[in-house]
């Protein structure tokens, strides 16, 4: 009789593991999957002039609570951030401290020049053409890790998270 109970206990372990794994998958997945996001809007200027069609990247500081977020400036240099885990454009960013990188490049070469108004010109170039990329803002602002640009996102609406870049 004792040997039958031992065999039953050994055979029940895989079943109990499956039940536990199922419970964790079903009930452990409840919730929104992370911190809530807050609306973030700001303006990017270079020497006081708006920078249209620049990419603005918010990268959480190491050990921070935020998640990456990105935005693109419009013709007046205004951007609205979108959380990396969201499909809603302009959703915002999680509360936390961020390092910020800003890039804007133009391509030239091939059969014509690609600018912010002609982003597909590089596709028109012949296969043997070369395309050169040129940063239209100082490259010191490109990488969040090196730019020196920082932002603090608070709970609620965050408007006026502006960056005035200098060309020299």
What residues in the chain have per-residue pLDDT under 70? 1-34, 109-129
Q: Tell me if the pTM is above 0.75.
A: no
What separation, in Å, do the N-terminal and C-terminal C-alpha atoms of the chain show? 87
What stretch of H or E contains 16? helix 2-27
Helix (H) or strand (E) holding 24: helix 2-27
Cα separation, 121 vs 168, whole angstroms? 30
The predicted-structure confidence for 20-65, as pLDDT tens digits, reads as follows 333 334 333 444 556 789 999 999 999 999 999 999 999 999 887 7
Overall fold of domain 37-165? Immunoglobulin-like (2.60.40)
CA–CA separation, 22 and 51 (whole Å):
51
Q: Return the domain boundaries, the chain.
A: 1-30, 37-165
């Amino acid at each position: 009789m004792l040997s039958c109970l031992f065999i039953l206990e050994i055979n029940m372990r895989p079943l109990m593991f499956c039940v536990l794994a199922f419970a964790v998958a079903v009930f452990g997945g409840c919730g929104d999957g992370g911190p809530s996001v807050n609306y973030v809007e700001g303006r990017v200027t270079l020497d006081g002039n708006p920078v249209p069609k620049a990419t603005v990247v918010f990268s959480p500081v190491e050990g921070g609570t935020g998640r990456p977020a990105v935005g693109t400036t419009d013709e007046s240099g205004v951007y609205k951030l979108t959380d990396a885990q969201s499909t809603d454009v302009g959703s915002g960013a999680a509360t936390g401290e961020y390092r910020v990188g800003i890039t804007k490049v133009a391509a030239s070469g091939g059969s014509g020049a690609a600018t912010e108004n002609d982003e597909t010109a590089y596709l028109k170039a012949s296969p043997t053409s070369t395309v050169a990329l040129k940063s239209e803002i100082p490259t010191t602002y490109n990488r969040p890790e090196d730019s020196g640009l920082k932002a603090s996102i608070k709970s609620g609406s965050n408007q006026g998270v502006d960056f005035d870049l200098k060309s020299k």
